[in-house]
Amino acid sequence: MNYPNGQRKNISRPKDAKKNTNIFSNRGMTLEEDINETNTFYVKANKAVIYKKPTPVQIVKVNYPKRSAAVITEAYFKQASTTDYNGVYRYRYIDFEAKETKNKTLFPLANIHEHQIDHMKAVVDHGGISFIIIRFAAHDETFFLPAEKLFLHWNVKLNGGKKSIAYETIQEEGYIIPFQYKARIDYLAIIDELYF
C-alpha cells in the first residue's frame, strides 16, 4: 500500500497464516441473505420481481415507554407460513422455499412441513414454478431442486420410507447453483434452463 508521503508500508503476516486462495470462502452470509441480495439485483436489473414473504404475526402486547421506542412484548404467529419467497418471472409465478443444513450427508425432510408441500403442489397444479433451494454449508454448495422431485421424496417418507434425501441424490436430481458476484444465487439461470 502506498501512503501520501510516498513511503510503502510493509505489513508482515504471521508465518503460519495461510493465504486465502478461494475468494468465496468464509463469505459469512447465510443462504437467506444471499437470496435476498440476488432478488435485489433481479429487481434493479428489471429481470424479475421476487421477494421474501413476511411471516404473518399477530401483535398482542406493545410496551410504549415513549412513542419512538415502542417495543413488542408479546406476539403470535397467525397461521403457518407457506414458503419463503414468491414473485413473477417471464410471466410465470415463482414460489420457493430455502433451507440451509450443516449435515454433510443428507437433507432431513423434517425441515419441510406438510402445509408447505401442499402449498407447493397447489402452485405447480396452477402452472406456477415451485422449487426448493438447499445449501449444504459443510460442502459450501447450493442446489436447486424442482418441487416435483421433492414431492417424490416426500411421498416415500409418507409411506414409511426414508425421512431424508441423500446428498448424492440431491447432486443427481438437483442443479448446483454456482456462487456469483452480482446474482449470488442465480436461480433464474436454472429456471431458464428447465422451464423456458
Would you list which residues are annotated within the binding site for Mg(2+)? Answer: 82, 84, 97, 116
Helix or strand run (H / E) with residue 191: helix 187-195
Binding-site positions: 82, 84, 97, 116
Checking DSSP bridges between strand 85-89 and strand 49-52, what pairing results, if any?
antiparallel
Give the span between the Cα atoms of 152 and 173, in whole angstroms.
Answer: 11
DSSP letter for 51, please: E
Give the span between the Cα atoms of 6 and 2, in whole angstroms.
Answer: 6
List alpha helices for 7-141, DSSP H. Answer: 31-44, 114-125
